[in-house]
Structure 1
Amino acid sequence: MDREDQRFRVLGRAAASNDAGRFERHTRVAEDDDWAREEVLPVLRTSTSIEVPRRVITYNRSPDLPFDRSINPYRGCEHGCVYCFARPSHAYLGLSPGLDFETQLIARPEAPQVLARELRAKRYQVAPIAIGTNTDPYQPIEKTHGIMRDCLEVLSEFNHPVAIVTKGSLIERDIDILGDMAERGLATVGISVTTLDAKLSRLMEPRAPAPQRRLQVIRKLSEAGIPVRIMASPMVPALTDPELEAILTAGRDAGARHASWIMLRLPREVSPLVQEWLATHYPDRAERIMARLRDMHGGKEYDAGWHKRMRGEGPYAQMVAQRFDLAVKRLGLTRAGVPLRCDLFRPPSEKGDQLSLF
């Protein structure tokens, strides 16, 4: 264990350690000073720093992703999901993918202004922007900073399509904007539900809304006319994957029209964090879970190859995929979401712009 976790009490966090990122040259290890005294350590709190971004739209060329661009209002995520594949990105900041990822957060309050500038660029070609594909835009600090709402207002003004992924109930605050955008064919939302077991969810996703609360979010968004996708993600073999059909059914009953699933992914520093978590909370299943993952990735804990990283390969992965297909068909869900409109995109006029003659 490293850094802050040795000098603080860790409460309500999923990660149990804070090893230095892979780019750091040095690590710190706590040693007992042999003093015969008991210390009451302070609780590890969340801190937020500010970043001034030069660009906010990130482009990718991944052939297995349904989008080619995304934005992230925040770095790090207080939801603290132990399995989050975004954890390794914190290493680029000189921070740990462990406890730092869920306690040392970075907000980007100027993101909406930078986004508007990028959308006005003459070379910009419109296509749906994804939000929430790395860290959750509706994590708790959004209530204070409101960056996501400001970004939505920019996208709405530009008539720009957006696809959002979240676990956060704070998205209900923005139903007014999202409902209006959805009516114009500009918005869809995916709600991630990993398990319906509240106790398991609290252990895996300690500061995310409970599963039933997320189902309520689906209901409210759907009632507002916003297309919603139930995301059974990630499925943890031998732990949460038995719930696949139940999760899809609960999502459909709450109003979701579309569905998707992803298998647990363990890139870079995520693997030791998840294995540490399993050894702590589910020691009787840890080896079985890891064995299933290795079976799906050619003996490795993770294979980042295109078209393999999201769901794995082999008999077990095929069985889960078949179960998903059968459930989707039975429940009347679709795997393809609502196509978003790009033909409405138009930068709003600014002071000094030449007026159109027509």
Structure 2
Amino acid sequence: MRWQEQRITDDGDAAASPALLPLAGLVRSLRTPEFGGITFHEVAAKSVLNRVPPTSSMPFSWTINPFRGCSHACVYCFARKTHSYLDLDTGLDFDAQLVVKINAAEVLRRELARPSWKHEHVALGTNTDPYQRAEGRYRLMPGIITALAESGTPFSILTKGTLLARDIPLLSEASQSVSIGMGISLALVDPALAEAIEPGTPSPRARLALISRLREAGLPCNVMAMPILPWLTDGDESLDRLFGALVAAGATGVSAGPLHLRPGSREWFMQWLARHYPLLVPKYEQLYSGGSYATKEYRDWLTGRIRIFRSKHGLSAGAGFFRNLSPTPGGATTPMTPAPPSGLPVGPAQASLF
């Protein structure tokens, strides 16, 4: 990355004062009335396939992130730290200074055409959401989905964005040739709390409806119910309501776990907590006194409660999503077939999410 002068334009017209960002390949920066308060920094990327370090515990080797930063503005987002690499803050800048890889599909096609490409699983939505609102403007995902499918590369998508519904026909078509994992991120169904802590996301009700639409299209849909928030969404009533809503929507499995407070997100979340739930601040400070993770005692307790309510509602654990998308000679894949809820159609063999 290097410092490079740029100019911010309104709707691509009259230039405003120059601004500096450490962005290689910067094409332009702009604001548009449809996205009040957000600045888009459009870059021409040299590569979009990101190799996951071999030392990582992640069960996949490759990721794609069409955007950096995310207008979902989830207070707890672990990816906030990545904005500090651009000399931007991990709070408001992460929410409103968005980097867009405008040539993502074109570059991806070239990368997938290399003889060295082994058709390993590619995960989308592992850092920032590929179906955040900006995707409605830039339409990067159709090209990415098509490139992956045509190359015989299995992939998965994790999102909170209901804009995904636009691409259901394309995903259904792609699933005929490659294994696809679909996942919706939804950890709370209280609309007021969701609006406070995930202010830029579609409502819980809208995401539940998206789960149903994916299942009606014959696609699997697992749910990442993370983070579960101590003293806010970890009670029996909250877990029972959440898992009940997920199974009613048709989710094929769920992975759930507690809040992680990593550097970059920790500071932003604790400021939010102090404003909305000041009495919980000392409890959180004690619970996370050892670092990014809650105490082992809490994690073990929550795991037990999750297991009880997942069993009560007949939801499977979503373990093994990425590991079950294994390439076979010629680029085809050998997927795992999830068991759909009764009354919902089953499509081609697919993998579950987590």
* TM-score bracket, shorter-length normalisation: 0.7 to 0.9
In structure 2, the partner of 1:55 is 47
The Cα shift of 1:185 comes to 5.0
The reply on whether 1:342 has 2:289 as its aligned counterpart is no
Instruction: Show the 5 A alignment for 1:102-117.
Output: 102-117=95-110
Corresponding residue to 2:241 among 243, 246, 262: 246
**Is 1:285 matched up with 2:280?**
yes
Q: 1:300 aligns with which of 270, 290, 305?
A: 290
Residues 113-158 of structure 1: CA deviation (Å, up to 9, x unaligned): 1111111111112221100010000000100100122101111211
- Displacement, 1:63? 4.7
Q: Is the contact made by 1:232 and 1:244 (CA closer than 8 Å) also made in structure 2?
A: no
AA at the equivalent of 1:52: A
Of 51-60 and 243-252, more deviation after overlay is shown by: 243-252
- Per the TM alignment, residue 320 of structure 1 is displaced from its structure 2 partner at its CA by 0.9
Deviation of residue 66 (structure 1)? 2.0
Secondary structure of the structure 1 residue equivalent to 2:257: strand
* TM-superposed deviation, 1:290: 3.1
The two structures, once aligned, show a CA RMSD in angstroms of 2.1
Partner of 2:199: 206
TM-score by length of structure 1 reads 0.77
CA contact (8 A) 1:218 1:255 kept: yes
Query: What is the deviation of 1:268?
Result: 1.2
**Once the two structures are superposed, what CA deviation does each residue of 1:153-200 show, in whole Å capped at 9, x if it has no partner?**
111211211111100000000001111233445211111112111111
Separation of aligned partners in 2, 1:87 and 1:139: 15
How many angstroms apart in 1 are the aligned matches of 2:120 and 2:138? 27
| Offset, 1:62 | 4.7
Equivalent residues in 2 for 1:80-99, closer than 5 Å = 80-99=73-92
User: 1: distance between equivalents of 2:330 and 2:96?
Assistant: 37
Distance 1:122 1:313, change over 3 A: farther
Identity level (%): 35
Give the one of 127, 152, 156 matched to 2:149: 156
Q: Distance in 1 between matches of 2:134 and 2:82?
A: 19
Structure 1 residues 302 and 87, CA gap change in structure 2 (3 angstroms): same
- More deviation in 249-258 or 99-108? 249-258
**Structure-2 residue corresponding to 1:355:** none
Equivalent residues in 2 for 1:224-235, closer than 5 Å: 224-235=217-228
C-alpha separation in 1, matches of 2:123 and 2:168: 17
Task: Indicate the residue corresponding to 2:270 in structure 1.
Answer: 275
Unpaired stretches in structure 1, ≥5 consecutive residues: 1-42, 304-311, 348-358
Listed as ranges, the gaps of 5+ residues in structure 2 are 1-34, 333-354
Tell me how far apart the structure 1 counterparts of residues 217 and 272 of structure 2 sit (CA, whole Å). Answer: 38
- Paired with 1:345 and 1:136, the residues of 2 have a C-alpha distance of 30
- The CA deviation string for residues 173-231 of structure 1, in whole angstroms up to 9 with x for no partner, is 00011112334452111111121111111110111001111000100011111111111
Matches within 5 A, 1:248-263: 248-263=243-258
Q: Counterpart of 1:354?
A: none
- Give the whole-Å Cα distance in 1 for the aligned partners of 2:330 and 2:186: 32
State the partner residue of 2:303.
321
CA distance in 2, matches of 1:166, 1:68: 19
Give the residue type in structure 1 aligned to 2:292.
Y
Bigger Rg, which one: 1
| Separation (CA, whole Å) in 1 of partners of 2:78 and 2:42 | 23
Instruction: State the 1:267 CA deviation.
Output: 1.4
Instruction: Write the letter of the residue equivalent to 1:100.
Output: D
Aligned AA (1:249): G
Going from structure 1 to structure 2, the CA distance change for 1:85 and 1:75 (only over 3 Å counts) comes to same
Q: Whole-Å Cα distance in 2 between the matches of residues 131 and 111 of structure 1? A: 13
Q: Which residue of 2 is the match for residue 45 of structure 1? A: 37
Q: Which amino acid aligns with 2:325?
A: L
| CA distance in 1 between partners of 2:247 and 2:155 (Å) | 22
Give the paired residue count. 293
